[in-house]
Amino acid sequence: MEIVPGKIITEIRQYFYREEADEDYSYSVITRVPQSFPRGRLCYRLEQSYSLGPLVVNTEAVLRTKTSLKNNRTLFTDDNGYQMMKRPSRMFVNDTVARNYYPMVRTAYIEDDSSRLVLLSERAHGASSQSEGELEVSVCILYEMRTLTHTHTTSTPCICPR
């Protein structure tokens, strides 16, 4: 991990490796935190960038953000970048995790009475709120030789880039 302080922004660079002896990292998280301004803030903002890959086949990458928000396991996702849709968590007999994943075209957020956590993305993903105060985004799921119509038994959503 590196911390690079600046006059306007402090950057925190985290690198994660598959094996201790690896020279190249498998993913990284870069967090940019603005410095405080003299006046009080109505909004706290930080920016995170993720770099992922290369991944081996049959690998899932999920970004899970845990907060103290009391969102009742409800999230909001955008519908084709146009309208925000409320996505309450529901219980099912089978595949509860997979069936509570929703398309996130550009935006997903969770909120309570006083705060909101918003995630913005450059491309579409699947999003879910599996636990109270949690926002989970499926960043990348690769399955070899499968199509979107393939039903699999691992109860995870399948996003196939091929």
pLDDT given for residue 141 in this prediction: 58
Count CB neighbours of 22 within 10 A.
10
Is a pLDDT exceeding 80 seen at residue 118?
A: yes
Contact 118, 148 (CB under 8 A): no
Task: Please confirm whether the linkage preceding 54 is cis (ω < 30° from 0).
Answer: yes
Strand partners, 78: 84
- Sorting pLDDT into bands at 50, 70 and 90, what band is 122? confident
pLDDT given for residue 109 in this prediction: 94
Same domain, 122 and 90: yes
Chain segment 38-52, per-residue pLDDT in tens: 566 556 777 888 887
Same domain, 112 and 138: yes
pLDDT given for residue 142 in this prediction: 55
Same domain, 43 and 61: no
pLDDT given for residue 143 in this prediction: 54
Domain range enclosing 10: 1-54
Average of per-residue pLDDT values in the chain: 79
Same domain, 150 and 160: yes
- Highest mean predicted confidence (pLDDT) among 43-47, 69-73, 112-116: 69-73
Domain boundary among 32, 54, 76: 54
